[in-house]
Amino acid sequence: MDYQQKYEEIVEEYNREKDRVTIEETFRRLTELMSELDTEQKRSVEEGLSEDELALFDLLKKGTLSKA
C-alpha cells in the first residue's frame, strides 16, 4: 500500500469538502491510516525516507556498513 498516496487522497478530499461531517470523517480516516503503519513505517514517514532508505540510514548511523 502506498501510504503517501492514500494520505494525499484523504487531504485532497478534505480540502474539497470542509463541512463538519467531512472533517470528522477525515480525522477518522487519518487515525485509521496511522494505526495501519508499523513502527518502521512510522519512522520512515517521520524521517521523510523510503523504508529502504531508512534501512541504509540505520546501517550508516550504526557504523556497521562493511566495505565490499
Q: Is residue 30 part of a domain?
A: yes
Q: Is residue 36 part of a domain?
A: yes
In 10 A of CB 44, how many CB atoms?
Answer: 20
Range of the domain at 27: 3-62
> What would the grid cell of residue 12 be?
485532497
Residue in the block written with cell 519512522: 43
**pTM for this model (two decimals):** 0.44
Q: Is residue 67 part of a domain?
A: no
Q: Is residue 18 part of a domain?
A: yes
Q: Is residue 40 part of a domain?
A: yes
Structure confidence by residue, pLDDT tens digits, 36-60: 777 778 888 888 888 888 888 888 8
Q: Is residue 17 part of a domain?
A: yes
Q: Is residue 68 part of a domain?
A: no
Question: Number of structural domains, the chain?
Answer: 1
Q: Is residue 43 part of a domain?
A: yes
